Structure 1
Amino acid sequence: MADTKYQDLLIINNDIALDGIGVPLGISDRPSIAQDIKHMIRESGLLVELVGERDGAKVALNLQRLENLVETDVRIVPGTASITREDSETFLVRARTEDYGHLEFNL
């Protein structure tokens, strides 16, 4: 089995996930990158501004800002990030990683 390149602790509901005996669970590579991007987006505050926003121009501007933010991660291939609004509170993030191919998750 290949060595993992990126490792992190698994975070669920803003807390470290533990196994049955209280040992922190880890994640690696693609899931680790996705988790880091989710946290980066959340910490930017831009997602909060989008929830419930009806002005199409404001939505488009903030989605572009979020896509640019995702592409600042060196593990993401430049020009591949896209974020689309599924409904008023759900956004689909897509990007291609340098080492692990396609990445997709909901916020």
Structure 2
Amino acid sequence: MSDCLFRDLHIQHGDLVLDAGLNPTYLTERAVIAQDIVHAIIESGLANLLVSDRGTGVTADTQTRITLLVEDDLRIMPGTVKVEQVKAGQWWVFADTINFGPLSTAITTGTDGDNHG
């Protein structure tokens, strides 16, 4: 793991993820970027707007604001961010990283998204 560009503690549902020996687990590279994106969206309050919107017209604006927020991350390739609703109340962010290829991550409120490489 010492050769990794990015390494961070793994946070899930607001808690530190521990291994069988009760040691903290870590994420690397693309998974770190996905986790950082989810945290930025949640901390900005945009996740609450997106998930709570029930056809009030806020959705398109919120999707644009999330796209711009994610594109501000220097590890993300500009112009590759997509925010999509896969089903009612379930939103995903798709983007290409500069060094690690595509990533996708769920946007949820009150918890961290499921990070996928």
State the TM-score, normalizing by the size of structure 1: 0.91
Task: Give how far 1:103 is off.
Answer: 0.7
Query: SS state of the match for residue 51, structure 1?
Result: helix
Identity rate, percent: 37
Query: SS state of the match for residue 60, structure 1?
Result: helix
Task: Give how far 1:27 is off.
Answer: 0.9
Q: Which amino acid aligns with 1:12?
A: Q
Task: Give how far 1:87 is off.
Answer: 2.5
Counterpart of 2:28 in structure 1 is 28
Counterpart of 2:82 in structure 1 is 82
Counterpart of 1:63 in structure 2 is 63
Q: How many residues align?
A: 107
Cα distance in 2 for residues equivalent to 1:71 and 1:12: 23
- In the alignment, structure 2 segments of 5+ residues that lack a partner are 108-117
State the TM-score, normalizing by the size of structure 2: 0.84
Task: Give how far 1:94 is off.
Answer: 0.3
Q: Which has the higher contact order (CA 8 A, sep 6+)?
A: 2
Cα distance in 2 for residues equivalent to 1:59 and 1:76: 23
Task: Give how far 1:105 is off.
Answer: 2.0
Give CA deviations for 1:40-63 in whole Å, capped at 9, x if unaligned: 111110110122423363110100
Task: Give how far 1:2 is off.
Answer: 8.4
Cα distance in 1 for residues equivalent to 2:56 and 2:45: 18
| Pairing 1:49–2:49 present | yes
Give CA deviations for 1:53-103 in whole Å, capped at 9, x if unaligned: 233631101000000000110000111111011223110110000000111
Q: Which amino acid aligns with 1:4?
A: C
Counterpart of 1:94 in structure 2 is 94
Larger Rg: 1
Cα distance in 2 for residues equivalent to 1:97 and 1:51: 25
